[in-house]
Structure 1
């Protein structure tokens, strides 16, 4: 294990301490304060504002509602999620698709599960933009399983690093914030090493995707970062990271682990 990882301070966010709601049609966990869940200790982390892990029942969903001055993206784990917005975008997302909306000066959208039998499982993530008053923007990009298998795939990156690339078919989605999101599907016994994307102090957050509605009492996905072990639905705040440097994540469980890694500035 690298020296950079050993010097980190890792504070876990256990799955069952997050905000949680079961509305019948919506089963959700909130890493940060959201809707009726509020905890002053968990309102944001760097530019990260929301990490919701949602399961929506067949033929149910969120009606049209407004957003402004947030960067919002959806990472589909399984099932089908349909989207419609005031910019004229209408599409259905499946596993591998990441849909990004820069709400900017204002946009309305709705999201629903159009399938009549299977629920849809996805993560919705929000961040605060570094620039206000942006024109609304919408991007969908697909990331194949091979890109994530036992390696880190860059899903989201700062426009300052990758440039305006909304028209590109490949590569990370650009957003106006000092933030990246990588993902990996890590086999048992394998590890990945994340290279911090900028010089100086960095905040890192790691989230393990859930396979079911509860974390298994035994087995299931398990990763190790620093001296801490994370199971399904767990997250970790990583402090002390400084670029140039690395953060190492290893799978110590007996099954694959799907992991999201956020690397961001201090604000």
Structure 2
């Protein structure tokens, strides 16, 4: 517990932002046409973290992926997934859709709802093995599963079980809905971490979620923070200092 932990905020207004009408997307680090030399290739094995909103009846047409493990955390709305493995599914709030692209596949993602936007977090992780067999899975966790606790959603295949999604990487992803005046703690197993406070309230909201890390760094909706540990077993405290629930994702990874 005595080793040092460095926390560096990644503010929402510092992220890349692309709005093409049907897609409103924030890029935590370099992605597509957005390039930030300070964050050229993600953070450790965590290569992409985008916060996306897609207009009703619009979406990403069929496109190819290779090698990456790609997953989406649905915040609100519903997203239809189709892929070259024959999978077709509509994913809703509280569900995580996970694809191991491996040797290669094609897929599409569409908001099939007629009136509601879909809001989701898109994550890409570089696996520790190449030429994996492509695979697909979804799992669901309720708000109650996440309330005031770290709910483990994705975990290294070496440690995962039937209650988590297995990933071929030294990474664990947790989701939490933290109520006002509540706090939780996490002890890192690895030397890196990242936390992302989801933009639940919308851009024009005046009452937004706020959390404080280790009694010092304050994050507002859309903000994130890099966590660097000299060794494992560093403790991070997370407090909700706002007036509304704060929903965030926490990564413990290499």
TM-score bracket for this pair, using the shorter chain length: over 0.9
Name which of 14, 36, 39 aligns with 1:39. 36
- Pairwise mapping of residues 92-103 of structure 1 onto structure 2 (< 5 A)? 92-103=90-101
Q: 1:209: which partner in 2?
A: 198
Take 1:87 and 1:76, find their aligned partners in 2: how far apart are those partners? Answer: 22
Q: Secondary structure at the match of 1:243?
A: coil
- For structure 2, the residue ranges without an aligned partner over 5 or more in a row are none
Q: Does the residue aligned with 1:161 lie in a helix, a strand or coil? A: coil
Quote the offset at 1:243 in angstroms: 2.2
Q: Deviation per CA, 1:94-130: give whole Å up to 9, x if none.
A: 1111000000000100000000100000000001010
Write out aligned runs for 1:129-144 (5 A).
129-144=127-142
* 1:152-201 CA distance string (max 9 Å, x none): 10011101222xx5xx3xx1101100011001000011111112235xxx
Alignment gaps of 5+ in structure 1: none
Equivalent of 1:24 in 15, 21, 26: 21
Q: 1:197 aligns with which of 186, 189, 192?
A: 189
Secondary structure (helix, strand or coil) at the match of 2:37 reads coil
CA contact (8 A) 1:203 1:263 kept: yes
2:89 maps to what in 1? 91
TM-score scaled by length of structure 2: 0.95
Task: Label 1:49 to 1:68 Cα distance change in 2 as closer, same or farther (>3 A).
Answer: same
- SS at the partner of 2:144? helix
Name the TM-score, length of structure 1 as normaliser. 0.91
Aligned to 2:251: 262
2:164 maps to which of 169, 172, 175:
172
For residues 89 and 4 of structure 1, what CA distance do their matches in structure 2 show? 48
Distance 1:47 1:95 in 2: 26
Aligned residues: 252
Asked if the contact 2:70/2:122 (under 8 Å) is kept, the reply is yes
- Give SS of 1:248's match: strand
Q: Does 1:72 align with 2:70?
A: yes
